[in-house]
Amino acid sequence: MGFTISKAVIPAAGLGTRFLPATKAIPKEMLAVVDKPAIQYVVEEAVAAGLTDVLMITGRNKNALENHFDHVSELEETLRKKGDHEKLAKVNQSTDLADMHYVRQGDPLGLGHAVLRASMHVGREPFAVLLGDDIIDARDPLLSRMIEVQGKKNASVVALLEVPDNMTHLYGVATVEATDEDDVVKITGLVEKPPQGEAPSNLAIIGRYVLRPEVFDVLEKQAPGKGGEIQLTDALEKMAAADEWTGGVYGVVFRGRRYDTGDKLDYIKAIIQLASDREDLGEDLKAWILEFASGLEK
HEC profile of the chain:
CCCCCCEEEEECCCCCHHHCCCCCCCCHHHCEECCEEHHHHHHHHHHHCCCCEEEEEECCCCHHHHHHCCCCHHHHHHHHHHCCHHHHHHHHHHHCCCEEEEEECCCCCCHHHHHHCCHHHHCCCCEEEECCCEEECCCCCCHHHHHHHHHHHCCEEEEEEECCHHHHHHCEEEEEEECCCCCEEEEEEEEECCCCCCCCCCEEEEEEEEECCHHHHHHHCCCCCHHHCCCHHHHHHHHHHCHHHHCCEEEEECCCCEEECCCHHHHHHHHHHHHHCCCCCHHHHHHHHHHHHHCCCC
Q: Is 13 in the site for ligand G1P (CB under 6 A)?
A: no
Question: Which residue from 57, 206, 218, 275 is in contact with ligand G1P, where contact means CB under 6 A?
Answer: 206
Q: Which is nearer to ligand G1P, 79 or 135 (CB)?
A: 135
Site string for ligand G1P, 82-121 (x = CB under 6 A): -----------------------------x----------
Q: Is 126 in the site for ligand G1P (CB under 6 A)?
A: no
Q: Which is nearer to ligand G1P, 79 or 236 (CB)?
A: 236
Q: Which is nearer to ligand G1P, 6 or 202 (CB)?
A: 202
The minimum distance between CB 293 and ligand G1P, in angstroms, equals: 29
Q: Which residue is nearest to ligand G1P (CB)?
A: 172
Contacts (CB under 6 A) with ligand G1P, residues 223-252: 231-233
The minimum distance between CB 46 and ligand G1P, in angstroms, equals: 16
Q: Is 65 in the site for ligand G1P (CB under 6 A)?
A: no
The minimum distance between CB 161 and ligand G1P, in angstroms, equals: 9
Question: Which residue from 27, 38, 129, 133 is in contact with ligand G1P, where contact means CB under 6 A?
Answer: 133
Angle at 139 between CA 159 and CA 208, to 5 degrees: 20
Stretch that binds ligand G1P, among 39-47, 176-184, 204-212, 246-254 (CB under 6 A): 204-212
Site string for ligand G1P, 152-191 (x = CB under 6 A): -------------------xx-------------------
Q: CB neighbours of 255 closer than 8 A, spacing ≥ 6?
A: 183
Question: Which residue from 129, 130, 131, 136 is in contact with ligand G1P, where contact means CB under 6 A?
Answer: 131
Residues that bind ligand G1P (CB under 6 A): 111, 131, 133-134, 171-172, 192, 204-207, 231-233, 262
